[in-house]
Amino acid sequence: MGAPRYDIESFLAQISINKQMEIIRTVAELQKKLETARQNGSIGLVPTMGALHAGHKSLVDRARVENDTVVVSVFVNPTQFNNATDLATYPRTEEADRAMLEACGADYMFAPTVEEIYPEPDTRVFELGAVAEVMEGAMRPGHFNGVAQIVSKLFAFTRPTRAYFGEKDFQQIAVIRKMAELEGFNDLKIVDCPILREADGLALSSRNIRLTPEQRTVAPAISLVLRSSLIWAKELSLKEVKNKVIATLNMFPFMDVEYFEIVDAHTMQPIGEWTDSDCPVGCITCYCGEVRLIDNIKYPCAV
Ligand code: PAF
């Protein structure tokens, strides 16, 4: 007989959670429910845009373990899309999301309408500084301001003890930390959670379902090349590794690297030498056909 497993994932898989999850559509109702919850303990918030997958589940599982009440927001935020087609084609799967969240034991799914969140246009401009100016910030003008708008609203409505974000969107976490600092969300802990991957290495993303079967077979090349770059980094200069990652990926069919930058994990600023940062991270955005995929890799300190 094998040794019993006591890790939290097998524990969560074995217990059946009977409590009914509530779906909340309005801010007023959310705030009312959370007023009581706050008196009873901590609140964990998992902001999402829906189309939930195992990556989101890992955030909800962690929030479930660490908090008394768990709220998951499911809202495709229009202000963070700078491309109308991307917004229109973003997958919306509310019924499946509801089922997954209920099975995870979330207490509340907050799924408001656009009018509820933005009764009038949000004209706030956040001074996010350098962390928001490079990479995604440079490629998607206005994107991070939109993220700051929605996440600041969710923080204000929910006043969570902890908020959970996936490291696949590595730069987004730095931007949200900056927004939290600017807006004075000082008591709230931002928890960054590791990337979840398919067995072949592809980082889980709601966009993966838009890959054709042929593209899906090629898409894991992104993580494969990033992992290979850990080995290349032992011998090559930072610039050589950068060029090799881009050139190698672009040789695959469907693949078109938009950018690959090696940045400092705190400032998000590109570095020129391995020794320029104690935490270098390689951040990539690569098109696979029409689908824009992102991923990243942490290099050992001072390789
Ligand atoms: O990462 C996402 O899914 C979104 O950017 C977020 C944080 C839920 C804000 O809409």
Q: Report which ligand 1 atom has the smallest distance to the Cα of 166.
A: 1
Q: Which of 150, 195, 204 to probe ligand 1 with, by most ligand atoms within 8 A of CB?
A: 150
Whether 53 is a known active-site residue: answer no
Q: What is the pLDDT of residue 89?
A: 86
Q: pLDDT digits over 35-59, tens only?
A: 999 998 999 999 999 999 999 999 9
Q: Which pLDDT value is given to residue 1?
A: 42
- With a 6 Å cutoff on the Cβ, whether 286 touches ligand 1 is no
User: Span 130-148, mean pLDDT?
Assistant: 98
- Return the HEC string of the chain: CCCCCCCHHHHHHHCCCCCCCEEECCHHHHHHHHHHHHHHCCEEEEEECCCCCHHHHHHHHHHHHHCCEEEEEECCCHHHCCCHHHHHHCCCCHHHHHHHHHHHCCCEEECCCHHHHCCCCCCCCCCCHHHHCCCHHHHCCCHHHHHHHHHHHHHHHHCCCEEEEEHHHHHHHHHHHHHHHHHCCCCCEEEEECCCECCCCCECCHHHHHCCHHHHHHCCHHHHHHHHHHHHCCCCCHHHHHHHHHHHHHCCCCEEEEEEEEEECCCCCECCCHHHCCCEEEEEEEEECCEEEEEEEECCCCC
Nearest CA to ligand 1 atom 5: 147
Q: What is the 165 CA–ligand 1 centroid distance (Å)?
A: 8
- Cα-to-centroid distance, 207 and ligand 1 (Å): 13
- pTM comes to 0.92
Q: Is the CB of 149 under 6 A from ligand 1?
A: no
Q: 220: CA distance to ligand 1 center in Å?
A: 23
Residue 19 has pLDDT above 70, yes or no: no
